[in-house]
Amino acid sequence: MSILITGFKGNIGSKLSLLFDNFVGIDTKDGKDLLTCELPEGVRTIFHLAAHAPVEWSWQDPVRTIENLASTVRLVHQYPDAKIIFASTGASIDPITPYGFSKWACNEYLKRFHKHAVILYF
């Protein structure tokens, strides 16, 4: 398997997954947590769309929100040579919420520690 889509049952992921005949999807809607699930072998491209959101919830549960960074770190270290296309947000440009901060931290981690990352701002 060469393509992994995290958050593949979300708004963007569900549409993106229609473009591929063969991919592995990980989504909390299937009871799979990126921090603990078994990750597939042979992944060459990752569309990392999964995140604990929305912004309002991040104020109520900032510890869960910071798991956005932990799951990104796990993917970077599991797949050091894969291309990672990361779904970021405008909230990460000026992070004034726990959610925005978690996305900003993911952006910075990818920039510094993964040589094949692309960050998309939706």
What is residue 81's predicted lDDT score, i.e. its pLDDT?
97
How far is CA 76 from its chain centroid? 10
What is residue 38's predicted lDDT score, i.e. its pLDDT?
95
pTM: 0.93
pLDDT digit string (tens) for the chain, length 122 residues: 699 999 999 999 999 999 999 999 999 999 899 999 999 999 999 999 999 888 899 999 999 999 999 999 999 999 999 999 999 988 788 899 999 999 999 999 999 999 999 999 98
**E strands present in the chain:** 3-6, 24-26, 45-48, 83-88, 117-121
Q: Give 25's strand partners.
A: 5
Q: Is the peptide bond before 98 cis (omega within 30 degrees of 0)?
A: no
Percent helix, strand, coil in the chain, to 5, is: 45, 20, 40
